[in-house]
Amino acid sequence: MIRHARGAAGRGPGLTNEDIADVLERVGDLLEVQDSNPFRVRAYRG
């Protein structure tokens, strides 16, 4: 579930740092499943 916060200068919904961290973690998971370079996978994980 994505929770929306106010965007920059009040221009509507934005993403929280937690939301962005979740997306980057998922990218790391997808790269790992694709047998990508382990250093690239780690770059997307906290």
Phi and psi dihedrals of 15, rounded to 5? Answer: -110, 145
- pLDDT range class, residue 7, cuts 50, 70, 90: low
- pLDDT range class, residue 36, cuts 50, 70, 90: very high
DSSP string covering the chain, please?
---EEE-GGG-SEEE-HHHHHHHHHHHHHHHHHTT--HHHHHHT--
Is pTM beyond 0.75 here? Answer: no
Instruction: Determine the pLDDT at residue 38.
Output: 97
Q: If DSSP codes are grouped into helix, strand and coil, which group holds residue 30?
A: helix
